[in-house]
Structure 1
Amino acid sequence: MPQPLDRIRAAGAPATGPPRFDRQMRKRRIMSILVSIALLIVGVYAILGLTLYFMQPSFLYRPVREVEYDPGDLDLAFERVALPTQDGLKLAAWYVPAAGARYTILFCHGNSGNISHRLDTIHLWNELGFNILVFDYRGYGQSQGQPSEEGTYRDARAAWDWLVRDKHVQPERIIIHGRSLGGAIAANLAAQVEPAGLIVESTFTSYEDLGKEFYPYLPVHWFASFKYRTIDAVRRAACPVLVVHSRNDELVPFEFGRRLFEAADEPKQFVEIDGRHNDGFLFSAETYRRALLDWVGSLDQAAARRARPGG
């Protein structure tokens, strides 16, 4: 005699197990799918993180070897310099004098190009009546070696040592100026020496902080292979500080400039300019030039007060 289950199958109804067993199977299938999705996400996440980790040097340092122009193209007299570093490299640099200069600018440029792409800055400081030394980090332009964080710090120190040792410039007559990545390098140098002042322009608070802005979905703290903690260096700098930043900066948020300013000791000044990350100083040329001259004037006034008896 046919059993009830046989009659159901013969009638075309699907065979099913007990309801509880079916629910458990569905849960297992769902859990298996969710685990597979989670493993896929973790795998993609890890691959992306590792790719960024190993590619960081090429993202951060974007040197150009070909030097296309020099200050002579602007009819400026200049001296070609080979700066010796503490670890035995030679760095390419230009020293551009200005008649009757009261101060010498030691300029640390950004992460891309080379010194031939900084003629606007060289010309500006020269027109304002200041000597300027601009140099290429290792691996940039005609400088030897390959760039690294510690290497860029050594390179800035080599430029400082050359001015003091070879040019016999008094430290209190040197202003260290850094733009973008150069601001982090300039601040690090200012924290080790005693310059007349420090200018930090369009600069991030730290490499990690900037990474979080670009990759908020990644644990940047784990993957960051550079530090460039500008904010710590600014705190240690025992000199007047000028922070310059554009509210329209599309690469380094304006808030980073404000945080650097807040971290600096007095005397300090903040100047807001307009324009994008790479052209703010040109877009806001009049405001920028006036701010530089006014700030340098405040250095002169402070030096005069210190020179007075009991000052």
Structure 2
Amino acid sequence: MRMLLQIAFIVAAGYGALVAAAYFAQAKLVYFPAVGREQVATPAQMGLPHEELTLRTKDGVRLHAWYVSVPQPRGVVLFLHGNAGNISHRLDSLAMFARLGYATLIVDYRGYGRSGGRPSEEGTYLDALAAWRHLTAERGIAPEDVVLFGESLGAAVAAWLAAQVQPRALVILSGFVSVPELGQEVYPFLPVKWLARFRYATADFLKDVSCPVLVAHSRDDEVVPFRHGERLYAVAPGPKSFLELQGGHNEAFFFVRPEWERSLAEFLDSTRPVR
């Protein structure tokens, strides 16, 4: 009996240490700013005219951003990327939007790329808000001409922003319902929903979004299961569309495939304001 109690104590202590480590290491599990911290290329290398920008957030953090222009734009995309890499890893997406006739503002969150500060959930929301203010207040672009595009973690940030402002449309690529829900699936042996200090509650944000929404997700996504995309589509009030993709979560640049690029173009054109 004494041996059994000792074994039980060791197991309990080990599990407690694992739970504590998971609680305090959450930021390292959510954010990967060190992955591709260096800028590997610029839009100019793809023949895309752009401006180097420094945006300042409400709490004083300086963010690095690019504004890629096109002649006679059909609108402007505010691009909010995922939790790894930086804006220089999204050049194919910038080229795709240019082909579709859209200018793009893409910004690195605090702690990513050449941006200052350290990443946090509230910080990423402030970063998105600073990018929105730059477009609408500083450049004078009408909100109904701005499309929010978020991939993975950026999908949660974009959904949060869409619930605060009135954009033309919202595109959710490979989004998850929430960090606690996804984390519980990834680590079923841990009480993630109790431990989670990060929420990124995409589904909750979507309930307060009034603009048209496109949810795009792949059945092959090995990081964020397809059912997350289905649930996000279900909770979006509408008007809404769903686009089923193929390929893994990190199989870059989904929309450069012609059939999906056409679907995205059709959705964006359907949301253009009548003037």
Q: TM-score range by the shorter chain?
A: over 0.9
1:97 is matched with 69
1:1-311 equivalent positions in 2, closer than 5 A = 29=1, 32-63=2-33, 64-279=36-251, 281-282=253-254, 285-300=257-272, 303-304=273-274
* Cα-to-partner distance string for 1:210-238 (whole Å, 9 max, x where unaligned): 10111001111222110100000111111
Distance 2:256 2:227 in 1: 19
Aligned length: 273
1:64-123 per-position Cα deviation (integer Å, ceiling 9, x unaligned): 431121101111110011111000111000000111112100000000111111111111
Q: Which amino acid aligns with 1:67?
A: Q
**Partners of 2:256 and 2:95 in 1: CA distance:** 16
Q: Distance in 1 between matches of 2:244 and 2:148?
A: 19
Letter of the 2:154 counterpart: G
- Determine helix, strand or coil for the equivalent of 2:90: helix
Partner of 1:15: none
Kindly provide the amino acid, as one letter, of the partner of residue 12 in structure 2. Answer: V
Distance 1:283 1:189 in 2: 22
Task: Provide the TM-score with structure 1 as the length reference.
Answer: 0.85
1:62 is paired with a residue whose SS is coil
Secondary structure at 2:207's aligned position in 1? helix
SS of equivalent to 1:137:
coil
What is the DSSP-based 3-state SS (H/G/I as helix, E as strand, rest coil) of the residue aligned with 2:241?
strand
Answer with 1 or 2: which has the greater Rg: 1
Inter-partner Cα distance in structure 1 for 2:42 and 2:256: 24
Stretches (4+) displaced over 6 A: none
Alpha-carbon contact 1:244-1:273 (below 8 Å) kept: yes
Deviation at 1:35, TM superposition (A): 2.5
Once residues 153 and 210 of structure 2 are traced to their aligned partners in structure 1, the CA distance between those partners, rounded to angstroms, is 21
In the superposition, the TM-score normalised over structure 2's length comes to 0.96
Higher helix share: 1
CA contact (8 A) 2:255 2:261 kept: no
Q: What is the CA deviation profile of residues 158-187 of structure 1, one whole-angstrom value per residue up to 9, with x for unaligned ones?
A: 000000011110000000000010000000
Tell me by how many angstroms 1:288 deviates: 1.7
Q: Which moved further from structure 2: 279-288 or 65-74?
A: 279-288
Question: Gapped runs of 5+ residues in structure 1?
Answer: 1-28
Distance 2:255 2:79 in 1: 20
Quick check: 1:274–1:280 contact (8 Å CA) kept in 2?
no
Task: Give distance in 2, aligned partners of 1:163 and 1:101.
Answer: 14
SS at match of 1:133: strand
Identity %: 45
The answer on whether the counterparts of 2:78 and 2:132 sit within 8 Å (CA) in structure 1 is: yes
Between the aligned partners of 2:127 and 2:179, the Cα distance in structure 1 is 19
User: Counterpart of 1:42 in structure 2: which amino acid?
Assistant: A
Report if aligned partners of 1:273, 1:280 keep a CA contact under 8 Å in 2. no
Unaligned runs of 5+ in 2: none
Distance apart, 1:280 and its partner CA: 5.9
